[in-house]
Structure 1
Amino acid sequence: MHKVGFFRSIQLKLILIYILLILLAIQIIGSYFTTSLERELTSNFKSSIDGRIEVLSHYLQEAFNKERTDEEEPTIQEDVQGIIGDIETDSSWKNLIVVNNQSKVLATNNYSQQDKIGKKDTRDIIQKVLLFSDEQVQDRKDSDGNRIHVQATPLFDNEENMVGVIYLEASLQDIYDQLSEINQIFYQGTIWAILVSAILGILVARAITKPVMEMRRQAQIMGKGDFTQKVNVYGTDEIGQLAIAFNDLNDQLKHSYAKTEEETRKLNSVIENMSDGVIATDETGAVTLMNEPAGILLGVNPEEIYGQRIMDVLKLDEKVVDPSELPENGSMIIDFSEDDDIFLIRANFSTVTDEDDDVTGFITVISDVTEQEKIEQERREFVSNVSHELRTPLTTMKSYMEALIDGEWKNEDIAPRFLEVTQNETERMIRMVNDLLHLSKMDNKEHQLQKERTEFIQLFHHVIDRFEMNSPEHIEIVRELPNEKLFVWIDQDKLIQVIDNIISNAIKYSPEGGKVTCRVIKQRHQILVSITDEGMGIAYDKLEKIFERFYRVDKARTRKLGGTGLGLAISKELVEAHHGRIWAKSKEGKGTTILFTLPLMGKKRRNNS
């Protein structure tokens, strides 16, 4: 959780709200006050003007109503000018003009406009009064931008005939200057009020936000799993009640968190100690959890996979478009093989739902089924091979037996050959069955080796001697054996069987005049035995397969020579049972070498033996 800056905090918001409320109240009050004051001042000013105009109208009416018979008496223009000069005015009366009903200026108090006396005044406001006989009032600004009050009042004689107009221009600037001074004072007061309210707002905001900030800090601490601290309760108001509720929540979360942690540890322990891989995703298929076995199986770092799509991780883009389709597949075999390296994974999918049965994620359990699939494939191939290997001699025997039954037994030339073939095929099937039983016992660990201290060179000479006595004359067996004694811990009968199988194959596949070379090389902790023929050789891509059950490089020739296709498979099992290793080297057209190793006995063990 990031720390909230002052300019984004609730404290600043409370201060601003407090200041804005104060400012709004001051503005409303100030606006009402200045408006009322302006209205009152202008009203009093206009009332004062009306009073003075009324007095002036009275004097002017007397002047207009006066009968002038004597030529020496003042003219009406002189009387009006005298009245204008004697009337009491103040500085606000900028321009006072009296015109007759012909718009002729009779008098003015403005010395700068004395030249207009006797001339016609064409002002619109004067013309409106002369036209409608009604008083006209205007408030406007003069050419200098000052506010003025303009008033035109009609004059009547005793007969109620309009005889003239009083035109007055009075300045309102003094009133608005007073209002400006008052507003200035008001603005200064507002600034002081804002400063005071800001200080008070800070104090009030701190008093309100302090418990809230403590609860925020406590929430951050609780988010880290620390439930030992509690917030202070400053009162019994709403914030105090919130603090009490917060502390109660802290206690409940502490208990729930401890229980959840315990369950999580149990679950993690189960997941991490599972031999199978477990992958959890959210409802979109993004990986949220992967245990170590899953990472090992997929060859990835679990932490780097988080957030990736399960379809990408399991390479299912071509099979599955949406993660919701995964549970529909239930279980599937996914091929992760690369080149000749076979690697198969079985994936089982299930759905995670909430209390409303809405899908919240998926669980995928993966396991390595490469060996299982290999074993299953080998089992199928084994059954197929056994069936084929048994069907061939049985078919041959059936054909010959049917021929004998049909009367060929009477033929002294054919009958013995048919019976010989039948006997050979029967013996081959017996050997095959015996080999299969032998392999089955070794697969089931039922066969126990009878190991004993053996001098290997002497044993090897013995086997080679036997083959030299029984082998065809056209095959030469060459010995390249060391003169020293090499002791091994072996089952003599089983190792003789291994050497018999290899030398027998070498002799079978050697051409006339060919050589079979038998070598033994002493290495640091083991001996290396090799038997080389000069036969047709084996292709490089088939070398590993010659140790598989029923595999034959030349099937027709092998069957003709009476082979079962199990000799090298048995040899491999026996050598590995002696903690050795067996393999082949070959070049087509130049022959094949079968090599195997056996561990040498240590001096201490030889002495004890």
Structure 2
Amino acid sequence: MNSVSAMWWSFRSAVGTILILLATAAALIISAVAYGAARWKSRKIICELADAMQEFVRTQKVPELPEKYAKIQKQMEQIQQMERHSRELAQTEAQRKNDLVTYLAHDLKTPLASVVGYLCLLDEAPDMPEAQKEKYTGIALQKAYRLDDLINEFFDITRFNLQTIELQKVRFDLAMLLRQLADEFYPMLAQKGITAAVQVPETLTLTGDPDKLARVFNNILKNAAAYSYENSEICMTAEKEDNHIVVSVISHGEVIPLQKLDMIFEKFYRLDSSRSTHTGGAGLGLAIAKKIVTAHGGKIHAESSEEQTAFIVELPR
């Protein structure tokens, strides 16, 4: 009995081992088949999506995808909309730039002709009365300044896309900078009876690039001066708010329509569609201001209502 039992247990053990091996082999085969099927299905999906993407890139049209790819199709439609919007913006910007170059080229002739004309009069009449000489010299000088402004605008147009903002940050007195700018603008503002008030706490300091930030507030003030009512006031304020310093430049003039408040910070956009030889610019001042403020990690926006416009600059302390 012992030998028979031993043989029986050996037989059972052998059968069990064989069954385990067969089960393992079957599992491996099933796994391999499932893996192959999944891989084939994945390749099929990838090929379908690759073909769809190639068609999208080639035709710029979103192909009709099966329902299971609805999310991907929606994303492709969003990409198409973004691409179309970017293309339209680029075309609009290019048209604005071309128009401005044409306008500025035309506007250069007017002050240049005046400078040449008045200098010729002075040269041809050496015995001209002193009062008349002074008048003609003053007009020629004024037109020469305007000519210089227009040439600088040409340089701004050509430099803007190539310029990389490099900041030289130091700790500086923001209150002093704003007061100096107000003083520099006095002659320009006085011509229209405009005054500039600066309401800034003493020794308000900020870490940033003072030269670049001076250009920001210079451009904002220049814009405010151009569009303010005569005999009005431009008020500049600055205060600490949490981790920011908020500078506001408030002027009084015609309300800027809501739909134009964001557009005024776009390149080559001019709020006044009519070309003014005296106040018209290249439409880069506020765009440059925004680029500098953004480089400082700050924000700039405009608000306008009830004949009052405020440009608000937030800069990290």
The verdict on a shared fold, with TM-score over 0.5 as the criterion, is: yes
Corresponding residue SS for 1:441? coil
Question: 1:280 touches 1:287 (CA, 8 Å); kept in 2?
Answer: no
Letter in structure 2 aligned against 1:487: L
Letter in 1 for 2:309: T
CA distance in 2, matches of 1:561, 1:475: 15
Q: Deviations over 1:18-69 (max 9, x none)?
A: xxxxxxxxxxxxxxxxxxxxxxxxxxxxxxxxxxxxxxxxxxxxxxxxxxxx
Q: Tell whether the 8 Å contact from 2:62 to 2:76 is kept in structure 1 after alignment.
A: no
Overall identity of the aligned pairs, in %: 23
Q: Which runs of 5+ in 1 are unaligned?
A: 1-225, 230-250, 300-342, 346-366, 601-609
| RMSD value, Cα | 4.3
Q: Which runs of 5+ in 2 are unaligned?
A: 1-26
What is the total number of aligned residue pairs between the two structures? Answer: 279
| Compared CA separation, residues 406 and 261, structure 1 to 2 (3 A) | same
1:597 corresponds in structure 2 to: 314
- Counterpart position of 2:232: 514
Pairing partner for 2:198 from 479, 488, 501: 479
The aligned runs of 1:167-186 (5 Å cut-off) are none
The question of 1:370 aligning with 2:85 is answered: yes
Alpha-carbon spacing, 1:403–1:585, altered in 2? closer, same or farther (3 Å): same
Using the TM superposition, give the Cα deviation of residue 568 of structure 1 relative to its aligned residue in structure 2, in angstroms: 1.6
Separation in 2 of the partners of 1:371 and 1:450?
32
The one of 241, 251, 259 equivalent to 1:523 is 241
Is 1:390 the counterpart of 2:93 in the alignment?
no
Contact 2:198/2:236, CA 8 A, preserved across alignment? yes
Q: Distance in 2 between matches of 1:529 and 1:431?
A: 27
Gap change, CA 1:469 and 1:372, over 3 Å in 2? closer
Name the amino acid aligned to 2:43: E
Secondary structure of 1:541's partner?
helix
Of residues 404, 410, 426 in structure 1, which corresponds to 2:147?
426
1:278–1:294: 8 Å Cα contact kept in structure 2? no
Residue by residue, what CA displacement relative to the aligned partner does 1:69-101 show, whole Å, maximum 9, x if unpaired? xxxxxxxxxxxxxxxxxxxxxxxxxxxxxxxxx
Q: Distance in 2 between matches of 1:535 and 1:382?
A: 27
For 2:274 and 2:43, locate their aligned partners in 1 and report how far apart those are by CA, in whole Å: 66
1:290 and 2:69 correspond? yes
Shift of 1:427: 0.9
Answering whether residue 155 of structure 2 is matched by residue 441 of structure 1, we say: no
Partner of 1:495: 213
* Mapped partners of 1:278, 1:228: distance in 2: 44
Paired AA for residue 312 in structure 2: L
TM-score using structure 2 length: 0.68
Q: Deviations over 1:106-141 (max 9, x none)?
A: xxxxxxxxxxxxxxxxxxxxxxxxxxxxxxxxxxxx
Contact 2:100 2:282 in 1 (8 A): no
Distance (Å, rounded) in 1 between the aligned partners of 2:188 and 2:99: 35
The structure showing larger relative contact order (alpha-carbon pairs under 8 Å, at least 6 residues apart) is: 2
Instruction: Return the offset for 1:492.
Output: 0.7
Kept in 1, the 8 Å contact 2:119–2:140? The answer is no
Contact 1:279 1:290 in 2 (8 A): no
Q: Is the 8 A contact 2:114 2:143 kept in 1?
A: yes
Deviation at 1:586, TM superposition (A): 1.8
In structure 1, the partner of 2:44 is 264
1:531 Cα deviation from its structure 2 partner: 0.8
2:293 matched residue in structure 1: 575
Counterpart of 1:457 in structure 2 is 175
Q: Give the match's secondary structure for 2:270.
A: coil
Cα displacement (A) at 1:422: 5.3
Q: Which residue identity lines up with residue 155 of structure 2 in the other structure? A: N
How far apart, in 2, do the equivalents of 1:468 and 1:254 lie?
82
| Whole-Å separation in 1 of the counterparts to 2:63 and 2:280 | 57
- CA–CA separation in structure 1 for the residues paired with 2:281 and 2:186: 20
Matches of 1:522 and 1:566, distance apart in 2: 29
Give the Cα–Cα distance (whole angstroms) in 2 for the partners of residues 568 and 592 of structure 1.
14
Are residues 1:410 and 2:131 paired? no
Q: Matched residues in 2 for 1:540 and 1:255: separation?
A: 59
**Amino acid of the residue matched to residue 518 of structure 1?**
M
- In 1, the alpha carbon distance for the partners of 2:170 and 2:250 equals 28
Deviations 1:154-177 (A, max 9, x none): xxxxxxxxxxxxxxxxxxxxxxxx
Which secondary structure does the structure 2 equivalent of 1:447 belong to? coil
